[in-house]
Amino acid sequence: MNAQRPLRLVICVNERLGAGQRSCAGSGSRLLLSELQQRLSDAALDVPIVERECLGRCAEGPAMRIAPGGEFFTEVNDSTLETIIDRLRQQLTTQSD
Ligand code: FES
């Protein structure tokens, strides 16, 4: 069996508590998560968002990744979200072809 895993967006919501340690939650990933959920809903894109505790890019957070095996996004901000949504839309279109 060779079933492809469904498209999803993985977002780090980790908060590192050590002094001077950057983390995605410390850089605003939880706020971005809420904004993404709203924008995906507005765009009628049925892509689940999966929260993770770390994607190994802590100093470059907020970090997100399209899965499976997709593009990595770091230092995500409000303006990056449209790019992510465009990529997800492209992936969904490709999958349905
Ligand atoms: S804290 Fe987000 S990648 Fe490590």
CA of 33 to the centre of ligand 1 (A): 14
In a domain? residue 16: no
CA of 93 to the centre of ligand 1 (A): 29
In a domain? residue 13: no
Q: Is the pLDDT of residue 83 over 80?
A: yes
In a domain? residue 17: no
* Cβ contact 58:15 at 8 Å: no
Averaged pLDDT, 24-43? 96
In a domain? residue 65: yes
* Ligand 1 site, residue 18, Cβ cutoff 6 A: no
What residues make up the domain containing 82? 30-96
Q: How many domains does the chain have?
A: 1
In a domain? residue 45: yes
In a domain? residue 58: yes
* pLDDT tens column, 11-25: 999 999 887 899 999
CA distance 61 to 48: 20
In a domain? residue 14: no
Q: Is the pLDDT of residue 78 over 80?
A: yes
